[in-house]
Amino acid sequence: MPQTVCTAAVNRALRAVHRPTSDGELVERFAATGDSDAFSQLVHRHGAMVLAVCRRITRHHQDAEDAFQATFLVLARRAGAVNTSRAVAGWLFGVAVNAAREARRRSARRYNRESLTATPPETGRCEPDPDFDIRAVVAEELAGLPEGYRSLVVACDLQGESQAAVARRLGLPVGTVYSRLSTARRILAERLGRRGLGAPACLVALAAFAADVEALPPVSDCPSPHVTELTEAIMRRGFAVRWKLAACALLASVAVALSGEPPKEKPIVAPAPTAAEESRLILGLGGHVRYLKSDGTEVSRLTGAEVVKAGADMPTRSLSVGLNSDVGLTTTVSEIFGPSGRIAPDGRLPLNTRKGLYMLTPGDSLVVKPAKAAAGEGALFASGNVPYIVAWSPDAKKAIGFRIKRGLFGSVYEHVLIDLAAGTTSELKVPSMHRVVDWSPDGSWFLTIRENKTWGLEGLYARERVLCKVSADGKTSRALTPTGGNGPGQSVVVESAVLSPDGTRVAYQQWTTTLAQQAKEGPVYCQGLDVVVLDLDRGTRTVVASEPGGKGSGDFLQMNTSFGVRWSPDGSRVGFLYEHREFGTPFIVAWRVGVVNTSGGKVKTVFASDKVDKTPPTALTTFDWR
Domain coordinates of the chain in residue numbers?
Answer: 15-119+127-245, 280-338+429-625
In this structure, the chain runs to a length of 626
Q: Decide: helix, strand or coil at residue 131.
A: coil
> Is residue 139 predicted with pLDDT exceeding 80?
no
Rounded Cα distance between 136 and 148, Å, is 21
E strand or H helix at 228: helix 225-239
Q: Phi first, then psi: give them for residue 344, nearest 5 degrees.
A: -70, 155
Q: How far apart are CA 320 and CA 585, in angstroms?
A: 31
Long-range contacts of 289-294 (CB under 8 A, 24+ apart): 289/337, 289/338, 289/339, 289/349, 289/621, 289/622, 292/593, 292/606, 292/607, 294/568, 294/573, 294/575, 294/595, 294/606
The pTM assigned to this predicted structure is 0.59
Using CB atoms within 10 Å of the CB of residue 95, give its burial: 0 to 12 exposed, 13 to 18 middle, 19+ buried. buried
What's residue 67's pLDDT?
Answer: 87
pLDDT of residue 526: 86
Using DSSP, state whether 331 is helix, strand or coil.
strand
pLDDT for 250 equals 43
Neighbouring CB atoms inside 10 A of 43's CB total 22
Residue 380 in this model has a pLDDT that exceeds 60:
yes
| DSSP reduced 3-state for 529 | strand
Q: What is the pLDDT of residue 244?
A: 35
Q: What number of other Cβ atoms are within 10 A of residue 383's Cβ? A: 14
- Is residue 401 within 8 A of residue 341, CB to CB? The reply is yes
pLDDT in tens, 106-135: 887 776 665 545 444 444 444 444 444 566
Shortest CA distance to 219 belongs to which of 115, 334, 65? 65
Indicate the range of 120-124, 385-389, 399-403, 499-503 predicted with least confidence: 120-124
- pLDDT at residue 20, as a whole number: 62
Residue 249 vs residues 65, 109, 253, 256, 421: alpha-carbon distances, Å: 20, 32, 7, 11, 32
pLDDT greater than 60 at residue 332? no
| CA–CA distance, 304 with 289 (Å, rounded to integer) | 9
Whole-angstrom distance, CA of residue 3 vs CA of residue 164 = 33
Highest-scoring range by mean pLDDT, 17-26, 114-123, 256-265, 298-307 = 298-307
Structure confidence at residue 328 as a pLDDT band (50, 70, 90): very low
- Is the pLDDT higher at 360 or at 248? 360
pLDDT above 70: residue 496: yes
Contact 142, 100 (CB under 8 A): no
Q: How far apart are CA 61 and CA 59, in angstroms?
A: 7
Helix (H) or strand (E) holding 207: helix 199-208
Report the DSSP beta bridge partners of residue 454.
461
Q: How confident is the model over 603-615, as a mean pLDDT?
A: 80
Per-residue pLDDT tens for 539-563? 999 999 999 988 776 667 888 888 9
Q: Are 457 and 450 spatial neighbours (Cβ–Cβ below 8 Å)?
A: no
Range ranked top by mean pLDDT from 208-212, 250-254, 259-263, 607-611:
607-611
Question: Where is pLDDT greater, at 204 or 278?
Answer: 278
d(CA 421, CA 36): 29
d(CA 597, CA 542): 12
Q: How far apart are CA 199 and CA 196, in angstroms?
A: 10
